């Protein structure tokens, strides 16, 4: 089995942002030479996440609204006693999780018809990274 690793760097212009990284991950898979295996895509920060879902603007707005309802920005999070002000970002990250694994078949991402990979930033405007690790034969 071989493996191949690349890092993606993000510095979003807004505090919350959702970035479709599907083509970038697909390019990394092709560059790896792995024909059969899997790719792990993992946010390396505790206020970001990665998910697989549909690339539709209305759905992204619905997801954003849902996350804000479940983990709204508030001034009174106990975490803020540390001097941070991103308690909601930590909770949002837990809701979407920090990583996904996607199968690779014949050298390509093996998705369902509408599936795409998204990087979700909940505490942006600073440099963060995602690891993309391709494993297989």
**Tally of domains in the chain:** 1
pLDDT of residue 126: 93
Q: Are 9 and 133 in contact (CB under 8 A)?
A: no
- Structural domain span for residue 38: 2-136
Sheet harboring 48-54: ordered strands across?
A: 17-20, 115-121, 48-54
- pLDDT tens, position by position, 9-30: 999 999 999 999 999 999 999 9
What does DSSP assign to residue 100?
E
pLDDT-derived band at 135 (thresholds 50, 70, 90) equals: very high
The CATH number assigned to the domain holding 46 equals: 2.60.120.460
pTM of the model: 0.95
Distance (Å, whole) CA 87 – CA 116: 27
Degrees, nearest 5: CA angle 64-70-75? 100
Which pLDDT score is estimated for 56? 96
The predicted pLDDT at position 63 comes to 97
pLDDT recorded at residue 108 = 98
């Amino acid at each position: 089995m071989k493996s191949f690793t690349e890092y993606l760097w993000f510095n979003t212009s807004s505090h919350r942002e959702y970035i479709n990284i599907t083509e970038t991950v697909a390019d990394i898979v092709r560059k790896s030479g792995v024909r059969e295996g899997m790719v792990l895509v993992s946010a390396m920060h505790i206020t970001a996440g990665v998910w697989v879902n549909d690339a539709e603007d209305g759905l992204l707005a619905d997801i954003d609204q849902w996350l804000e309802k479940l983990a709204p920005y508030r001034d009174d999070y106990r975490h803020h006693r540390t001097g941070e002000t991103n308690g909601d970002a930590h909770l949002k990250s837990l809701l979407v999780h920090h990583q996904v694994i996607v199968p690779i078949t014949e050298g390509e991402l093996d998705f369902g018809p509408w599936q795409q990979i998204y990087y979700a930033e909940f505490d942006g405007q600073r440099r963060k990274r995602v690891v993309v690790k391709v494993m297989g034969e």
